[in-house]
């Protein structure tokens, strides 16, 4: 088949949406499909199979903030969108932003079936405006993206049951949805990676994610201050983002200076493997690829009990869960696991065994099956319509 994948956000593989998109693109190509990628990643211009639209030009202050967040936003170009989509057997849209919405409209005009991923919680958007805790505003966002995109697609891909339940409860509609994890790549696995010499005598606690309000890294930084073992803890915050300066100021009082660094895909898996504990403090998390990768490496993984996060479902026990945005609660959980090393080994094995359901090849095969089913159903409807007309 010829499948067009529409990516409003695509660039370095430093965020869950880009990682999920590239994993799907690579898998579909490996299965022999022709994949057209519609995006605004200017570095992809001239690359085979990539159709690049312009970026939005915002006022300087807004543009600067968007760059700090680590993304670029696509500006639909009708000629490019039509050229890319025309002749496709199916279109898969990653997120409900302007390019995805416009591509869905064009695909509908050409009667090409569309599947769409649900990779953006309302709170991912409203947190930037500091209104992420105002329920009616988040509900409005969900209703807006339903009206302008998801109601016009043949099927919705939900990475977790959590986000499907959340979306459907807000819009009061049962959707044609497929719950399929984005999965964990086979190269992400437990390895015997020694700590760097300078970290050999330290307790390494790692968190990975964009430095953003809804990711709640500030809760983890504050938790280290309350830990009985703070003089031995080396905190590593793998990522980048708008909150970096604030987090560095917040961490100045810690006995051991945290490491703030954006790592390559290979390097971050090495860090995961030599870390002692992985903490995922996010208040808002649709799936949490980094959390799944930590589990796949057999790390003792600590997560928030936030009602807006799917990652609490990955914890193997209540002992690995802390109260959302409560640094003292998180410090207590961290100290427990530092002080119970033998039990920690047992739980690490439990996490490792739980990772089997996130095998990426199996997850991507289910994504391919979803597209096949939608295309088949669309063809059948068209044939039935022709029969009725005759």
Share of the chain above pLDDT 90, in %: 80
Q: Over the range 114-139, which residues count as b (16 or more CB within 10 Å of their CB) and which as e?
A: bbbbbbbbbbbbbbbeeebeeeeebe
Residue 216: which region, alpha, beta or left (left: phi > 0; alpha: psi -120 to 50)? left
Q: Is the pLDDT of residue 70 over 60?
A: no
CATH topology of domain 197-358: Rossmann fold (3.40.50)
Question: Which architecture does CATH list for 2-183+359-389?
Answer: 3-Layer(aba) Sandwich (3.40)
The pLDDT value recorded for residue 66 is 55
Give the pLDDT of residue 125. Answer: 78
* pLDDT at residue 236 tops 80: yes
> 38 and 102 in contact (C-beta within 8 Å)?
no
Q: What is the pLDDT of residue 130?
A: 74
Q: What is the pLDDT confidence band of residue 5, given thresholds at 50, 70 and 90?
A: very high
**Residue 319: pLDDT above 90?**
yes
- Residue 93 has φ and ψ, to the nearest 5°, of -100, 130
Query: What pLDDT is attached to residue 74?
Result: 87
- The band of 52, judged by pLDDT with boundaries at 50, 70 and 90, is very high
Confidence band of 131 (pLDDT split at 50, 70, 90): confident
Statement: residue 250 has pLDDT above 60: yes
First vs last Cα of the chain: how many Å apart? Answer: 29
- Distances from the Cα of 356 to the Cα of 7, 32, 297, 377, angstroms: 28, 26, 11, 31
Q: What is the mean pLDDT of residues 267-284?
A: 96
What's the pLDDT score for residue 124?
Answer: 80
**Does residue 340 have a pLDDT over 90?**
yes
pLDDT in tens, 202-212: 999 999 999 99
What count of other Cβ atoms lies within 10 Å of the Cβ of residue 253? Answer: 11
DSSP run (H or E) holding 373:
helix 360-389
Mean pLDDT, range 226-245, rounded to an integer? 96
Reported confidence tier of residue 84, pLDDT bands at 50, 70, 90: very high
Q: What is the pTM assigned to this prediction? A: 0.88
On whether the CB atoms of residues 219 and 289 are closer than 8 A, the answer is no
Confidence of residue 147 (pLDDT cuts 50, 70, 90): very high
**2-183+359-389 and 197-358: identical CATH topology:** yes
In this predicted structure, the answer to whether residue 377 has a pLDDT above a threshold of 90 is yes
In this model, does residue 65 exceed pLDDT 60? no
Q: Would the pLDDT of 268 be above 60?
A: yes
- Name the residue with tokens 């895909």: 265
- Which three-class secondary structure string do you get for 306-366? CCCECHHHHCCCHHHEECCCCHHHHHHHHHHHHHCHHHHHHHHHHHHHHHHHHEHHHHHHH
* Cβ contacts of 3 within 8 Å, gap of 6 or more: 28, 33, 34, 35, 36, 88, 89, 90, 91, 92, 371
Bridge partners of residue 206, in order along the sequence: 236, 278
Residue 132 confidence class, pLDDT cut points 50, 70, 90 = low
The residue ranking higher by pLDDT, 381 or 300, is 300
Domain boundaries, the chain: 2-183+359-389, 197-358
Does the pLDDT value for residue 305 go beyond 60?
yes
Task: Using alpha carbons, select from 37, 30, 52 the residue that is nearest to residue 93.
Answer: 37
Q: What's residue 77's pLDDT?
A: 95
The residues near 116 (Cβ < 8 Å, ≥ 6 apart) are: 92, 93, 94, 96, 100, 104, 149, 150, 153, 155, 156, 157
Strands in the chain per DSSP E: 2-6, 34-39, 50-52, 90-93, 114-117, 155-158, 177-179, 203-208, 233-238, 259-261, 277-280, 301-304, 321-322
Per-residue pLDDT tens for 179-203? 999 999 888 999 999 999 999 999 9
The arrangement of strands across the sheet holding 233-238 comes to 259-261, 233-238, 203-208, 277-280, 301-304, 321-322
341 CB-near residues (< 8 Å, 6+ apart): none
Average pLDDT over residues 319-332: 98
Interstrand relation of 301-304 and 90-93 (parallel, antiparallel or unpaired) = unpaired
User: Is a pLDDT exceeding 90 seen at residue 100?
Assistant: yes
pLDDT bucket at 11, cuts 50 / 70 / 90:
confident
Residue among 272, 255, 263 nearest 221 (CA): 255
Helices 16-30/360-389 angle, 10° precision: 70
Contacts of 49 (CB under 8 A, 6+ apart): 34, 35, 36, 37
Cα 271 to its chain centre, rounded Å, is 19
Q: How far apart are CA 294 and CA 272, in angstroms?
A: 6
């Amino acid at each position: 088949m010829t499948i067009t994948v529409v990516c409003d956000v695509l660039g370095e593989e430093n965020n869950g949406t880009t990682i999920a998109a590239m994993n799907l693109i690579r898998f579909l190509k490996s299965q022999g499909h022709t994949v057209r990628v519609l995006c605004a990643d200017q570095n992809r211009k001239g690359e085979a199979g990539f159709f690049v639209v312009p970026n939005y030009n915002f006022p300087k202050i807004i543009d600067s903030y968007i760059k700090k967040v680590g993304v670029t936003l696509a500006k639909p170009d009708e000629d490019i969108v039509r050229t890319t989509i025309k002749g496709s057997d199916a279109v898969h849209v990653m997120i409900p932003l302007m390019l995805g919405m416009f591509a869905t409209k064009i695909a509908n005009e050409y009667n090409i079936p569309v599947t769409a991923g649900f990779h953006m919680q309302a709170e991912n958007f409203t947190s930037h405006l500091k209104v992420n805790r105002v329920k009616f505003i988040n509900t409005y966002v969900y209703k807006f993206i339903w009206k302008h995109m998801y109601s016009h697609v043949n099927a919705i891909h939900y990475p977790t049951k959590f986000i499907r339940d959340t979306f459907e409860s807000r819009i009061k509609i049962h959707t044609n949805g497929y719950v399929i994890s984005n999965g964990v790549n086979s190269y992400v696995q437990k390895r015997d990676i020694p700590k760097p010499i300078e970290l050999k005598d330290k307790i390494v606690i790692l968190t990975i994610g964009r430095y953003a309000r809804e990711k709640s890294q500030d809760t983890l930084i504050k938790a280290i201050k309350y830990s009985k073992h703070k003089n031995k803890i080396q905190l590593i915050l793998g990522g980048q983002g708008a909150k970096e300066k604030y987090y560095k100021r917040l961490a100045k009082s810690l006995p051991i200076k945290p490491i703030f660094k954006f790592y390559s895909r290979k390097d971050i898996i090495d860090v995961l493997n030599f870390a002692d504990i992985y903490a995922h403090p996010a208040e808002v998390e649709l799936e949490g690829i980094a959390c799944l990768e930590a589990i796949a490496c057999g790390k003792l993984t600590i997560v928030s009990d936030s009602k807006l996060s799917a990652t609490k479902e990955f914890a193997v026990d209540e002992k690995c869960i802390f109260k959302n945005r409560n640094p003292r609660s998180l410090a207590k959980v961290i100290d427990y696991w530092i002080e119970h090393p033998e039990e920690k080994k047992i739980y690490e094995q439990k996490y490792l065994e739980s990772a089997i359901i996130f095998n990426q090849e199996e997850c991507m095969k289910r994504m391919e099956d979803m597209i096949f089913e939608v295309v088949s159903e669309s063809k059948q409807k068209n044939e039935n319509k022709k029969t009725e007309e005759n």
